[in-house]
Structure 1
Amino acid sequence: MADQFLAEQHTWTLFRNSQSDEADSWVMLTRDGQIVPIPGEKILHTSRPRVSLDISTPRELQIADPFSLKCDNGIAYITNERVIFLPARPTEDFKSFFTPVLNFTDTHVHSSWIGPWSWGGTVRPVPGGGIPMHIPRVEVRFTFRDGGHSDFQAKFEWLKERLQHAQELGLVPGQNLEPPPPYEPSAPGPSPSSGDPSTARTGPQLEQEQQQQEQQPPQPAPDEPPPDYVQAQAQAISMQYEERTRAEAERY
């Protein structure tokens, strides 16, 4: 029961930290507009200013009520977890956009002879992210008016490859992306018998201490759930329902 409670508490903590106070935005921001990272998140790339975002429903879906959204000016970010877009001037209808990196498919660059270059692909929407539940996927395009599309694409492809590899190995997405630091052998320390004789412990003493540690009872789990636990559980159930609805829409 203690392990189950700790697992649920961990899930609730990640869920709460991934939410925003705004119903139509999953990107938490500080008062000065900076991104509040989710646990373990790091910003890996920031685009140049004057990036536009265009979200639309693919024509092949033939949905009676298609979805579309456009923002002419903002900044795009790549973290070890997400692709994020923040408009230069948020409105009540649009404050931010994000999608997990692995939710992007069929990414490619759109060239232009006279206009700026753009990059985008097909995105599977995140439950609760502001896109209607009956839309299983959308087309997302970033247009880089001040350049930088090639750097953005290179960083995205580098990250996606490593996330997919980590997923195949069963590792936590977004973690263990950087190589470990070089090995440095530790300096030899004094042996247990070379210290102060008054602090040296004999074999029987060590055995007695070990027995005392094994006899100590385990710490009991808290009697009460964390704050807002019931509300978080209800929101998680709603997210699961929305995800199933999207999957059913995709099949049809």
Structure 2
Amino acid sequence: MSKPILSIRDLHIHYGAIAALKGVSLDVANGEIVALIGANGAGKTTLMSSICGIPAPRSGSIVYEGEDIAGASSYEAARRGIAIAPEGRRIFPRMSVAENLLMGGWLQTQASQKERMEFVFGLFPRLKERRSQSAGTLSGGEQQMLAIGRALMSKPKLLLLDEPSLGLAPQISRQIFQALAMINRELGLTVLLAEQDAHHALKLASRGYVMVTGNVNLSGSSADLLSDPKVRAAYLEGGRH
């Protein structure tokens, strides 16, 4: 693995008396896709959110491009080139598709915003067709495309995706994963992907981490994890092979 753009060490996060993360460590190299898999409640969302500044860790480090950003603000994370498409999408339902995208490009110049919006429309043509439509009237798949497109508007160096396939039809999920593979291949964009759909996540990623009750229980290449009996039994049996 090349030099990590993101290196997390012994990260502990608590919500009151509840330990959400219990010493998580992981690395993401520049230009790779890394999958973070695990059941609902394993701590994936907490980990992803902490990279963006909320919540702040009790202890441990989040080193991004050589600097520890643990506890830094969300603004600082965005300024440094970290963007997230959060679980549940969190689009602005009363705003149009175009207005939602512009919200994601708030740190860019007007010319850069226009260029980036055309890139997003090329990636997700449905959004171009619906650019003037209220985001709240989009289908679930279109809203997920919008959430990812909004994150891409900032020209991130590190894209965090939290459960992008949640609640979507398999065909739509495949389209989204194909788009992610394309931007990684053509732009070299680094992606950390948190997913309950272990099969699709590991097929897309080069490496993966398995989270169980607030910690990393297993890690390795995607091929090794896909063939691991414990991973197959917990996350793949009865699914796609």
TM value normalised by structure 2: 0.24
Structure with the higher strand share, 1 or 2: 2
Tell me which structure has the larger Cα radius of gyration: 1
Structure with the higher helix share, 1 or 2: 2
TM value normalised by structure 1: 0.23
